[in-house]
Amino acid sequence: MRLKDKVIIVTGSTMGIGKAIAKKAVAEGAKVIIHGLEEESGLQVVYELGEENARLHIEDISNAGAAQRLVALAVDSWGRLDCIVNNAAIVAASTIFDTDKAFFTRMLEVNTIAPCLLIQAALPHLIASRGAVLNIGSINAWSGEHNLLAYSVSKGALMTMTRNLGDSLFREKGVRVNQINPGWVLTENEIARKKEHGLADDWYQNLPEVFAPAGRIIFPEEIAVAAMYWLSDESGPISGQVVDLEQYPMIGRNVPKDAGTIPHR
């Protein structure tokens, strides 16, 4: 078991990618803190994983003291903390024409500042366990779509933080920090968002090849499998790295003008 006896906080894990990572981590021997805003969904995840393997914390990750409460729950429950998965995020559309200060600030608070503060709060325990941090970014970090301005900036900032801490924390304290940038993933929220945009209920079954060469988009479980490498000791001394997880290259790819647009994470 690749994560046997490790204790891991997975933010934003009541659904989607975070839930898939938490479930895979438990299957690999870990204990997990499930976190999010959806209490009913979170209770269901804990039920599926077993109370001996999971604890639930419902709170906005940007609240003052939220990071300390998550860390305390992990340590009080199992006596240690080995890994942080910073997955909780707001995904919301905005452009240069409609992004006001309050919206931008909120996006940065949740997507960029809260992950940093959680690492900071967990640091004494991560140093003791020579642990690992995995930040969940987005391929939009590289530039992003025109209608995902604030979100893309927040994920770009997260990527810079990963590289900065991945060097300094590992060099000085032995704590590894890495990041994966998922592409378009079929989460519950993504299905709901596209319906809100006016697409059919089965929109994900009929996608243009230019956006989904495989004939489908990525499943959360496929992101979770990749996450196990970075959380386990198998990744050895590798730190400060960012890996894109998409089914086509993001740089140098020419999308035909008539392809249309389907905004995604």
Contact assessment for residue 38 and residue 62, using Cβ atoms and an 8 Å cutoff: no
Residue 207 belongs to some domain of the structure: no
Catalytic residue among 47, 151, 229, 248: 151
Q: What is the pLDDT at residue 256?
A: 61
DSSP for 125-147 reads HHHHHT-EEEEE--GGGGS--TT
What CATH number is associated with residue 26? 3.40.50.720
Residue 41 belongs to some domain of the structure: yes
CA 183, chain centre distance (Å):
12
Residue 37 belongs to some domain of the structure: yes
Stretches where the chain sits below pLDDT 50 are 263-265
Active site residue 151: yes
Tokens 């300390």 sit on residue? 68
Q: For the chain, how many structural domains are there in total?
A: 1
Residue 125 belongs to some domain of the structure: yes
Residue 252 belongs to some domain of the structure: no
Residue 22 belongs to some domain of the structure: yes
CA 5, chain centre distance (Å):
22
Q: What is the pLDDT at residue 196?
A: 77
Q: Which residues span the domain enclosing 167? A: 7-183+218-235
Angle at 13 between CA 164 and CA 26, to 5 degrees: 95
pLDDT of 140-183, one tens digit each? 999 988 899 999 999 999 999 999 999 999 999 999 999 999 99
Contact assessment for residue 96 and residue 142, using Cβ atoms and an 8 Å cutoff: no
Residue 210 belongs to some domain of the structure: no
pTM listed for this prediction: 0.93
| Alpha-helix runs per DSSP H in the chain | 16-27, 39-49, 66-78, 101-108, 114-129, 149-173, 188-196, 220-231
Residue 205 belongs to some domain of the structure: no
